[in-house]
């Protein structure tokens, strides 16, 4: 049995899905129903994993969270689970190519299979498939759309420091 809770976010409505074991899915508003299969589902706005996921996502979008601390219930093949675990290991603000992920999981020739597993990642944002880019540095497919992928990457980009330098005029100082 799966439980769901819709939430509003800066990237549109997301549907959070949990099992009794943990968070199983974060689905996009216009998600392809064939990409993930979580049936049957019952709406449960008070499910503890779904409430905690919403809280942590709100912190992430507010710039106050870099790492998620949630029980995850990956549903897929052993290979897919390996890829998804590699996604979770990509640090905030960094990216990896599909070939880097393939090497990291010990299957250096399985670049296309890594891409396919990445495309079926049920836990967008928490298992950050948006951090996987083409080897040429270009943005590639993303279930939420390339505009949202670009938004998420920009959200994680280091922000320029606002610290005052020796040359920065201070209040009351002549310029």
Active site residues: 129
Q: Cα–Cα distance between 28 and 58 in angstroms, integer?
A: 16
Among the listed residues 92, 74, 100, the one whose alpha carbon sits nearest the alpha carbon of residue 130: 92
- Beta-strand (E) ranges in the chain? 2-9, 12-18, 23-28, 41-43, 96-97, 132-133
Nearest-5° Cα angle at 114, 113 to 120: 90
Q: Of the candidates 34, 24, 35, which has an alpha carbon nearest to the alpha carbon of residue 2?
A: 24
Residue 95 contacts residue 133 (beta carbons within 8 Å): yes
Q: Which two tokens stand for residue 38?
A: 């979580």
- Report in angstroms the alpha-carbon separations of 103 from 76, 80, 142: 20, 14, 21
């Amino acid at each position: 049995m799966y439980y769901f809770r819709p939430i509003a976010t800066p990237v549109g409505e997301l549907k959070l899905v949990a099992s009794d074991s943990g968070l199983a899915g974060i689905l996009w508003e216009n998600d392809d129903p064939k990409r993930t299969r979580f049936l049957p589902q019952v709406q449960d706005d008070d499910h503890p994993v779904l409430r905690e996921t919403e809280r942590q996502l709100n912190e992430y979008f507010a710039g106050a969270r870099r790492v998620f601390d949630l029980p995850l219930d990956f549903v897929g093949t052993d290979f897919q689970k390996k890829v998804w675990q590699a996604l979770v290991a990509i640090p905030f603000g960094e990216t990896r190519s599909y070939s880097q992920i393939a090497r990291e999981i010990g299957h250096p020739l399985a670049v296309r299979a890594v891409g396919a597993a990445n495309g079926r990642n049920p836990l967008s944002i928490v298992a950050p498939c948006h951090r996987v880019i083409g080897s040429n540095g270009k943005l590639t497919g993303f279930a939420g759309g390339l505009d949202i992928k670009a938004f998420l990457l920009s959200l994680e980009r280091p922000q320029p420091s606002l610290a005052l330098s020796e040359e920065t005029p201070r209040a009351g100082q002549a310029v």
